[in-house]
A and B are shown apart, each in its own frame.
Chain A
Amino acid sequence: GEDVEQSLFLSVREGDSSVINCTYTDSSSTYLYWYKQEPGAGLQLLTYIFSNMDMKQDQRLTVLLNKKDKHLSLRIADTQTGDSAIYFCAETPAGNNRKLIWGLGTSLAVNP
């Protein structure tokens, strides 16, 4: 079946890089997404990657996709306290592109 897994917690020091990992099971996924949820707010799309790409960079964010291992990661360079949030990984299964399969979210704590 379709499943997306993430570790639940990550703690880093301000200024360090954060790497949030995600594994998925559907090898025919078309798009994979990273969403950010700040406390008390809704989810915002951070970035996404199409399945035929290996890497995507957007300012401090780097997304790496390893299709062979079905592994997706989000690297945040120079992590700031404002990056403290829950980060959700999600995929679009090829058979139903109107539905997203969500991970449980990784809570990132940035310590000064």
Chain B
Amino acid sequence: DTAVSQTPKYLVTQMGNDKSIKCEQNLGHDTMYWYKQDSKKFLKIMFSYNNKELIINETVPNRFSPKSPDKAHLNLHINSLELGDSAVYFCASRGTSGGAREQYFGPGTRLTVT
């Protein structure tokens, strides 16, 4: 009964490789997000989709490409990985009805680029 799930939990890869991280939510939410958390624990939003439509696209290298096949899934593909991409990537989702409309986070994917 996991609300927001991500796979894989850990990802170790070499520079120059291409990798994907997957996210799924079973909360029936319309909006999903990708965040990057660096080694200092600073949280930075990367992308957001609402009903499969990209609504937030922060300043992120175009090596990063999100894809939302349906509103329950948001995947992140990263091309030509660099050392600076090492971080924890969090997926989150948010409903569009109700009061506080808080975001629910997945457990994170720790990406290590060597």
Contacts and interface: CB of A to CB of B under 8 A. Distances in A.
Given A42-B107, A99-B56, A48 B102 contact: yes
Contact of A86 (B41, B50, B103, B108): B41
Contacts of A48: 100, 102
Interface residues of A, number: 22
Interface string B2-44: 0010000000000000000000000000010000000011110
B101 interface: yes
B101 A31 contact: yes
Main secondary structure of the interface of B (DSSP, over half): strand
A45 interface: yes
Interface stretch (A16-24, A57-65, A100-108): A100-108
B101 A42 contact: no
B48 interface: yes
A96 to B, nearest CB: 8
A88 B37 CA distance: 12
B66 interface: no
B83 interface: no
Given A42-B4, A50-B99, 8 more contacts: A33-B102, A35-B105, A42-B90, A42-B105, A44-B105, A92-B101, A99-B56, A104-B42
